[in-house]
Structure 1
Amino acid sequence: MLLGETPDLRFVAKPAGIPCFPPHGNPTGDCVLARLVGTFPDQAQPFPPGFEGGIAHRLDTLTSGFLVVARSPAALERVREEWPALRKFYRFRCSAQPPFGTQVLTTPIANHARRADRVVVQRWPQERHRGPWLPAWTRLRSLGEGWWEAEIRTGVRHQIRAHAASVGLPLDGDVLYGGVPGSAPTLVHVAISGATWSFALEDGMLPAAR
């Protein structure tokens, strides 16, 4: 589970298919938090609501890669202060071949008007939605052979999946956003970089299996 650590932070593996926190209606269900405190009992110390276990951010259930975990409330506060300025990098697969190699998207994102399991990108002012429009910044870059890099500077739910799909790059297997049916979608959190610290997966990939 542990990929690396500093005196203030731990970087822990997050497999695809495992939520960060207990599923709704199942407080004892399998999740990264339960595995984390089972492996590192000191992470069970009190942290602010929403950051239990010192988990400093969230990843969608289907996303794999790594999570940043603070080892103390003071460390968590410092990480959260830095968070907006940190650069976060992901990789995903898409079989589509758009007429561009790089694209920056700044269209806001909100919850879907009728479906609780997805979000919608604001393509026009009258776009139907539920709740507020949230600012979102995503840069997409082709890595070749169907692989893409996504850099985000915000953290909206389903941000990469929705932004990529809005420009014709749905993740392979992500049928919720128009992806080609087949194997489970591949979306991996591979690196994070800031002014004072950074971390990256050595091979840029973690297995999707549990």
Structure 2
Amino acid sequence: MEATWQYTGQEPVKIKKFLQSLGMGHRLFNEIKKGQGQFLVDHRVVRPTTQILPNQPLTIQVAPETADPTVAVSHEPLKVAYEDDNWLVVDKPAGVSSIPGPTTSNGTILNRVKGYLEEQGSEDLRPHLITRLDRFTSGLLLVAKHHVASSMISQQVQQHRMLKEYRAVVSGRFADDHGVIDQPIARREGQVARVIAPDGQRAVTEYWVEDQGVDWARLRLQLHTGRTHQIRVHMASAGHPLIGDHLYGGDMTRADHQLLHASKISFLDPFSQKQLTFTSSLPEEFNGF
């Protein structure tokens, strides 16, 4: 894997500082420094302590990642919304898991991406899911094709600078068109469902009412944190469980799974330094609302 950036600063800067400003983590830098790759300035291999001058190009070269033998290969359908040398944006249908687990060892998005990369003849065969969705949540997932991309975007994920928007249909009506739920979410041993609890991690969900009927509302939601089941827990705690969400008391007469769709994702591409934004239209299950 090879990537090049042009340094546009006015003063000389060390390679490490420049790469950190682009998002690279300490671990990846140290791996390259210790021989698992190399740095090039003006197409010449240089030491990690080298300073880059204004307008000089910096290139990193890293060996491809071999396949993880514990992850099976699947050639089941994969809807790719966007692809370049570093990223895949996948539009996941409801009912497909993001990653293998105790009950699903194959056919997940991770398995399918691995199969897709094999079919494309990719040298890197260890994809990294940057975002994940519950099995019955549909919509957009971001996948890094290699560990350099995964490292470069990790700061945006950790600092919640990646925009993630969802659409959902919930029970009940809202008096206000906009609101913010700021309630900590905790895990309880032996339970799948999360709970609102003082000892939980901070979780913030913002929502806008797009439409509502007699006893339902369609919402646009934005995650400001990324907790497991966050939207489902927050809406249920507010008295508005998602339609079809059996785990959190949703109405199962109108849908057989939670009506939750990851409709938009936007992030700063650390390679091109451009904002990339992708949207996904609502699945058919939302048509009745």
- Structure 1 and Structure 2 fold alike (TM over 0.5): yes
Q: Tell me the TM-score range normalised by the shorter chain.
A: 0.7 to 0.9
Distance, in Å, in 2 between the alignment partners of 1:207 and 1:197 is 29
TM-aligned CA distance change 1:74 to 1:160, over 3 Å: same
Is the 2:88–2:145 contact (alpha carbons within 8 Å) kept by the matching residues of 1? Answer: yes
| Cα drift, residue 206 of structure 1 | 3.9
Which residue does the alignment assign to 2:232?
161
User: Which structure is richer in relative contact order (CA contacts within 8 A, separation 6 or more)?
Assistant: 1
Which residue does the alignment assign to 1:121?
196
Which residue does the alignment assign to 1:12?
90
Aligned counterpart for 1:185 among listed residues 239, 250, 258: 258
Figure out how many residues of one structure are paired with residues of the other and give that number: 191
Which ranges in structure 2 are unaligned for 5 or more consecutive residues?
A: 1-78, 269-273
1:108-148: per-residue Cα shift (whole Å, max 9, x none)? 101136x52200012xx4xxxxxx61121110110113310
Is the 2:117–2:125 contact (alpha carbons within 8 Å) kept by the matching residues of 1? Answer: no
Which residue does the alignment assign to 1:148?
219
1:135 and 2:202 matched: yes
Distance, in Å, in 1 between the alignment partners of 2:241 and 2:153 is 31
Matches within 5 A, 1:4-153: 4-27=82-105, 29-41=106-118, 42=122, 45-46=125-126, 53-83=127-157, 84-112=160-188, 116-122=191-197, 125=198, 133-145=200-212, 146-153=217-224
| Cα drift, residue 95 of structure 1 | 3.3
Which ranges in structure 1 are unaligned for 5 or more consecutive residues?
A: 47-52, 126-131
TM-aligned CA distance change 1:40 to 1:175, over 3 Å: same
- DSSP-derived class of the 2:282 partner: coil
> TM-score w.r.t. structure 2 length?
0.61
Distance, in Å, in 1 between the alignment partners of 2:81 and 2:267 is 18
Distance, in Å, in 1 between the alignment partners of 2:128 and 2:283 is 22
1:22-54: per-residue Cα shift (whole Å, max 9, x none)? 121553x321111111112238634xxxxxx22
Distance, in Å, in 2 between the alignment partners of 1:139 and 1:25 is 33
Taking only the aligned residue pairs, the percentage that are identical comes to: 28
1:3 and 2:76 matched: no
Distance, in Å, in 1 between the alignment partners of 2:207 and 2:264 is 15
Distance, in Å, in 1 between the alignment partners of 2:83 and 2:279 is 13
Higher gyration radius (CA): 2
